[in-house]
Amino acid sequence: MEELLNRLRTQLQSLTPRERILLGAVGALAGVSLITFGLVGPVLAARSDARARVEAAEQELEAVRRLRQEYSRAHSTLSGVEERIQRGPAGNLLTTLESLAQSSSVKIDSMEPQAAASSDRYRETRVQVVLKSVTLAQTVSYLQRLEETPQPLSIKNLRLRTRSDNPELLDVTFTVSSFEVVPS
């Protein structure tokens, strides 16, 4: 190893001052390049990757916050519905529908009980109601009374069709569900 260093010293001493300056400049440039590509480049790349990960984490955090708000709203709505079911009066759905129809001056053409999904906490009673030859005002009045009744009712699958014999009258079909707490 010492022999190699001596040969290198001899070679350097035999160079002209101009060649020494040029060799020093090339060596310095090689050193700067080595530092830039060996140290600074990877550090900058790691910094860029870290920024990207931080941005992704912030976006995920924002998504989690939005989901939390949606969950809170859904939970609040569900709590309100459950409270309404628990404090609402229990009653026969068919009787309720018939009495509300009479107070709205509507004649129900048919009421057919439907199969309902079961739950261990609530019992759902579902009825399909058909109204024939009613005006829009009568329909709105009846639906509004259904909505305002203290018994918790839900209206689904509302279909309105104008009659071919009298376009001012409607045939209305909808499904009404009532809910009661299942006794423990």
Q: CA nearest 158: which of 138, 133, 184, 176?
A: 176
For the chain, domain boundaries: 1-87, 93-181
Query: What's the confidence (pLDDT) of residue 36?
Result: 79
Lookup: tokens for 137: 């005002």
- Which residues, including other chains, have CB under 8 Å from residue 153's CB and lie 6 or more apart? 93, 96, 146, 147, 176, 177, 178
Q: Please give the helix or strand (H or E) that residue 114 lies within, else none.
A: strand 108-114
Query: What's the confidence (pLDDT) of residue 11?
Result: 84
pLDDT digits (tens, 9 = 90+) for 127-156: 999 999 999 999 999 999 888 888 888 898
**Which of the four pLDDT bands, split at 50, 70 and 90, describes residue 171?**
very high
- Which residues, including other chains, have CB under 8 Å from residue 119's CB and lie 6 or more apart? 182
Please state the pTM of the whole predicted model: 0.56
- Tell me, letter by letter, the H, E, C secondary structure of 81-108: HHHHHHHCCCCCHHHHHHHHHHHCCCCE
Q: Is the pLDDT of residue 184 over 70?
A: no
CATH class entry, domain 93-181: alpha beta
Lookup: tokens for 62: 């924002």
Rounded to 10 deg, the angle between the 136-148 and 93-103 helix axes is: 130
DSSP state of 16: -
pLDDT digits (tens, 9 = 90+) for 36-46: 777 888 888 88
Q: Is the pLDDT of residue 27 over 70?
A: yes
Cα–Cα distances in Å, from 8 out to 12, 17, 68, 135? Answer: 6, 16, 71, 109
pLDDT digits (tens, 9 = 90+) for 47-99: 999 999 999 999 999 999 999 999 999 988 878 777 777 776 667 888 888 98
State the Rg of the chain over Cα.
41
